[in-house]
A = this chain, B = another copy of it.
Amino acid sequence: MKVQIVKDILSANEQIAQENRRLFDEKGVDDIVAGNRRSSEHTREYAIARLGIPAVQINTGGACHLDANMVCVALPRLPLDETDLLFIENVGNLICPTNFALGEHLKVIVASSPEGDDKPYKYPGMFSVVDVLVLNKVDLLPLLQFDLDYFRRGVEALNPDVAFFPMSCKTGEGVQEWIDWLVERCRAG
């Protein structure tokens, strides 16, 4: 019953999400949503643009998550015909982005080890819907009271098929494994 109500509320969003998805498929774009971002890269758009990679900033106007329409109106500003892989970076909160499809093929969460090993238990909604879980800042693990087994058990109870990548963007540990997985998936998809 509850599921039915949620469906009704989200149906307009869902419809636009499907339109976005149709456009991605037509243009041959594999796209990825990072449901959560924790690293301090507020200048990411400029950094990415400086590398010659097309980037568009979406202002949510204070809203706590992206919706399909915000993505839809941003897409004409990107050269989708020449794009193979599109990252959509969502607002960094572990609740609100959970229920709003954007048209993406893959949902990624970037968790951060200093946040604590309890996060899958505290935010089961988010951790149960993602396809990929990146655990960043693992270089700090020796300094934290973070039980990696406890964290993994929490994730796997919710989401046994999730692809899990422990990583440190600072030291580079684990980054190659994630890139290899992504490239392989794009080739297959």
CB within 8 Å of B: which residues of A?
38-42, 62-64, 91-96, 112, 114-119, 121-122, 125, 137, 139-140, 143, 145-146, 170
The CA-CA distance from A40 to B92 in the complex, in Å, is 18
Is A95 touching B42 in the complex (CB atoms < 8 A)? no
- Do A116 and B62 form a contact, CB below 8 Å, given A91-B95, A93-B94? no
Indicate if the CB atoms of B38 and A95 lie closer than 8 Å. no
Once the chains are docked, how many angstroms separate the CA of A40 from the CA of B123? 12
A114→B93 contact, CB < 8 A: no
Copies of this chain present: 2
Is B93 a contact partner of A64 (Cβ separation < 8 A)?
yes
Residues in B neighbouring A91, C-beta threshold 8 A: 95
Tell me if B143 and A143 are in contact (CB < 8 A). Answer: yes
Closest to A136 in B: B114
Interface of A is mostly: loop
Contact between A115 and B62, CB atoms less than 8 A apart? no
The answer to whether A115 and B38 have CB atoms under 8 Å apart is: yes
Known: A39-B116, A145-B170. 17 other contacts (CB 8 A): A40-B115, A40-B145, A42-B118, A42-B121, A42-B122, A62-B95, A63-B95, A91-B95, A93-B93, A93-B94, A96-B96, A112-B114, A112-B115, A114-B140, A139-B143, A140-B140, A143-B143
- B40 and A117 contacting across the interface, CB-CB below 8 Å: yes
Complex CA–CA separation, A170 to B116 (angstroms) = 13
Contact A62 B125 (CB under 8 A): yes
Complex Cα–Cα for A93 and B125 (A): 15
List 5 A-B residue pairs with CB atoms under 8 Å apart, sorted by A's residue number: A38-B116, A40-B119, A42-B122, A64-B64, A91-B95
Whole-angstrom distance between the alpha carbons of A180 and B122 in the complex?
A: 31
Is A95's CB under 8 angstroms from B64's CB?
yes
Q: Which residues of B contact A63 (CB under 8 A)?
A: 95
